[in-house]
Structure 1
Amino acid sequence: MYARKPVIVLLGLAVCGGLGCAQPPACREGQVATPVSAQRHPVAGHHLRAHAHNDYEHERPLFDALDHRFYSVEADIFLNGGKLAVSHRNLPWDSKRSLEELYLEPLQARVDATGSVHGDGVPFTLWIDLKEGGREIVDTLHAVLEKYPMLTRVDGDEVLPGPVTVVLTGDDKAKRDLVTRHSQRRAVRDSNDYSPEDPPADSAWGYYALRWGDYLDASSTGQLDASQRARLACIIENAHAQGRKVRFFDAPDHPDAWRVALEFGVDFLGTDDLRSLDTFLDGAP
């Protein structure tokens, strides 16, 4: 949770009082963004934006999120004995914690059975958080993903959408290496850094994963004052204009934060509390 901090305006930047930290620019010079509320998907409704943060920590990884109608999940991976293990820490190898067994195989089975993960034709997003770098994990992950025809495929500058899109997050060098070295692949990457001057999206980089507290100063529940709402409006307007989707991490896991995210069109609403977000989205206008 983030407690409200005093804010000082200095040379166009908001400076965290007493901490010496500055929020990076969110708007272009003179920009006044118009918030565009999230629209209900005609099939998935607002659940299209439901994202299970650290999904593998739930009792039934993937399936708990699917039961709550989430369309996005996140799995952290390490390379363990040449295999991709799902965990927040590098633990002893357990075949039941492999990326393929927990996520790729069951997702492919659902797509094979019904044409999409939820059987409704709506695309699904699998975020793979690389918790370490190095060529071995990059090449191993690339080889594993190539086995799954459900995944969105990139061939040079062309993106061929599939029922499931893999977004690489986490270790910056590793995710950049994978999309740079492999012109034919089944993954795209995000960036943890945003600038209003970022170039348009391409076949490599189509997403942002931004730390909430780096860009927004919020109450402990996620409410934003007028200046911070203006910053959020710029971030979303500029990202969407350049063809990218946005999620925030380390955001307050609270209905106030989810309400703000929907109000401003944030693409992914992350949570560790699947049931509460499910209920909130059911009641959201």
Structure 2
Amino acid sequence: MMYSLFLASVLPLLVAGKATIDSQIAALEASNSPILQYPTQLTQNLVPKAIHSHNDYWRDVPLLTAISLGVASVEADVWHMNGTLFIGHELAALTPNRTLDSVYIQPLLKILGEENPIDQFTVNSTTPNGVFDTASDVPLQLLVDVKTDGVEALPFILQAFEPLRQGGYLTTFANGTLTLSAVTVVGTGNSPLEQVKELSPRDYFFDAPLTQLTDPSLNTTWDPTLSPLASTDYGTAVGWSGIGNISAEQLANITQFVGDAHERGIKARFWDTPGWPIHARTAVWRVLLENGADWLNADDLEAAANF
């Protein structure tokens, strides 16, 4: 059936010209043949990469630029004011139109709707596809960096994710089972740890303190059902500028903190890594990845994607 469709599309166009493979490709593309189109092609050929888009809302086009480069983690600073969740780095950067819903949730719903068509082929599907067509089982990690009071903001944040929740798109811990889905939401900044612990079911997780996973004073059992991610300030935890040789002590800090996370099944991220000079930034990225850091924290997404 499909081969017949192929012939019907191509043969009439080959009569007038030399039948080379390039001419067949050109003919098919010019014909807008339906065999070149498929429902989930929005993100075709995009390979997901373990890159975190730091301050993603600063991009000319938030979220979509990151996804277009295969970036699998994005970060949104969220300000709760009178029931609305605004997006921005500081008060002067906030606008009425840029909200958690408009900048992230609605675009994600649109993307995931395209990646999860409802038709005769998918009618019995139970596991939704993620945003990446090439790796539909890879969740997009969305960090919500709460800038205002976390206890007050949390109920509004949870409500904001209801459309994704209703679609079955959120990674969820319930009844002792962690079920990965298209989007894993991780609270950071002022996200309230004790309130996140109490969520049941839980589809809003907590960014654990990477340097304190072994600290008993926190009275917390860190594991992926609470914290799939643990992060820390690179400058405080490591401090190497990327120029010259990294010291044995600095390297030991990286391996210790990464090891603490991996022992608990948690992924490690170092934020605020050096951004300049470029060769120093590259050196830091290389050392972090070679020593087990799971997420490459980046502001220059194109450079990170080509690293």
Q: What TM-score results when the alignment is normalised by the length of structure 2?
A: 0.70
Which secondary structure state, in structure 1, belongs to the residue aligned with residue 306 of structure 2?
helix
Which secondary structure state, in structure 2, belongs to the residue aligned with residue 169 of structure 1?
strand
1:215 Cα shift?
A: 1.2
1:222 Cα shift?
A: 9.0
Which secondary structure state, in structure 2, belongs to the residue aligned with residue 154 of structure 1?
strand
Partner of 1:108: 109
Distance 1:160 1:102 in 2: 26
Pair 1:183-2:200 in alignment: yes
Q: Which residues of structure 1 form unaligned runs of 5+? A: 1-42, 281-285
Return the index of the structure with the highest Cα Rg. 2
Runs of 4+ in 1 over 6 A off after TM superposition: none
Provide, for residues 62-118 of structure 1, a one-character-per-residue CA deviation record: whole Å limited to 9, x for no partner: 111112110111000001231111111235863431111111121222222212112
Distance 1:177 1:100 in 2: 25
Higher helix share: 2
Which secondary structure state, in structure 2, belongs to the residue aligned with residue 113 of structure 1?
helix
One-letter amino acid of the structure 1 residue matched with residue 208 of structure 2: S
Partner of 1:117: 131
Partner of 2:278: none
Structure 1 pair 201–222 and aligned structure 2 pair: CA distance change class (3 A) = farther
Match of 2:269 among 241, 247, 259: 247
Pair 1:168-2:168 in alignment: no
Q: Aligned runs of 1:11-50 on 2, under 5 Å?
A: 47-50=48-51
Q: Aligned runs of 1:206-221 on 2, under 5 Å?
A: 206-220=228-242
Partner of 1:233: 255
Partner of 1:152: 171
Which secondary structure state, in structure 2, belongs to the residue aligned with residue 239 of structure 1?
helix
Distance 2:46 2:104 in 1: 21
Aligned partners of 1:130 and 1:175 also within 8 Å: no
One-letter amino acid of the structure 2 residue matched with residue 82 of structure 1: G
Of 119-128 and 195-204, more deviation after overlay is shown by: 195-204
Count, aligned residues: 235
Aligned partners of 2:213 and 2:222 also within 8 Å: no
1:221 Cα shift?
A: 5.1
What CA RMSD, in Å, does the superposition of the two structures yield over aligned residues? 2.3
One-letter amino acid of the structure 2 residue matched with residue 245 of structure 1: K
Match of 1:142 among 137, 141, 158: 158
Distance 2:194 2:299 in 1: 30
Q: Larger relative CO (CA 8 A, sep 6+): 1 or 2?
A: 1
Identity of aligned residues (%): 29
1:177 Cα shift?
A: 4.0
Distance 1:133 1:75 in 2: 16
Pair 1:261-2:285 in alignment: no
Aligned partners of 2:53 and 2:297 also within 8 Å: yes
